[in-house]
Amino acid sequence: MIPILSARTLHKRFGLTHALRGAELDIMAGEIVAIMGPSGSGKSTLLHCLAGVIAPDEGRILLSGSDIGTLGEAARSRLRLTRFGFVFQFGQLLPELTALDNASLPLLLAGKGRREARREAAAWLDRLGIGEQAGKRPAQLSGGQAQRVAIARALAMHPEVLFADEPTGALDSLSAETTMTLMRDQVRAAGTTLVLITHDPRTAAYADREVIIRDGRVSVDSRAVAA
């Protein structure tokens, strides 16, 4: 089986900071992978390279075996919109829109009609256990509810890979558990690959596999250990 995503000897420098120093990683379709490691070790940089948000200085990213480095900026941006989804530490919802309108927005931008976009987004809010909150604005939601709107918004686009950078980083442990349980169940049901950065071992416990990054490279990979 070809990995859905491979990082091959990635290097990335920001001025004098050598953020990635030969990072190597293979991710299989449908896997839930937790990326852990100290602050500043290169986790977010690795995620941004894997997702085609930034280009590595050296090394390659293969998406189902194809080098995304050969794509131009427009093609990479289309890739991010059509095949990838993103969830960040703070949901990045638009404050003036309701939960339902936030979750519908990418579908509308992708050209869906208003009724269909709202119907699909509403179904995703239900799956994430927040159907009742559909009419509320972000300020009226708890942190965990807002993250679940962000997850619904991402999954409504049927991404092949969902990238989540510290999705529970701002949540209390109970909301983190609820959010992770729902996110795991929904990515499993959809067959979506999940690449999850977290500091929290309880969040990482939802993954099939844990990868630890130190000084810009993978220092521990539980799959390699288990194999």
Ligand X SMILES: Nc1ncnc2c1ncn2[C@@H]1O[C@H](COP(=O)(O)OP(=O)(O)O)[C@@H](O)[C@H]1O
- Closest distance to Mg ion from the beta carbon of 19 (Å): 10
- Closest distance to ligand X from the beta carbon of 24 (Å): 16
Q: Indicate the helix (H) or strand (E) that contains 17.
A: strand 17-27
- Residue 214 three-state SS: strand
Residue 58 pairs in a beta bridge with 11
Pick out residues in 16-75 that bind ligand X (CB under 6 A): 17, 19, 37, 39-45
The residue (of 43 and 217) whose beta carbon lies closer to Mg ion is 43
Full DSSP string of 104-126: HHHHHHTT--HHHHHHHHHHHHH
The C-alpha angle 194, 210, 188, rounded to 5 degrees, equals 30
The residue (of 4 and 49) whose beta carbon lies closer to ligand X is 49
Please provide the distance, in angstroms rounded to a whole number, between the alpha carbons at the two ends of the chain: 16
The residue (of 81 and 212) whose beta carbon lies closer to ligand X is 212
Q: Which stretch binds ligand X (CB under 6 A): 11-19, 22-30, 95-103, 117-125?
A: 11-19
The residue (of 12 and 43) whose beta carbon lies closer to Mg ion is 43
133 binds, among Mg ion, ligand X, none (CB under 5 to 8 A by kind): none
Q: What type of residue sits at position 29?
A: A
What residues make contact with ligand X under the rule CB under 6 A? 14, 17, 19, 37, 39-45
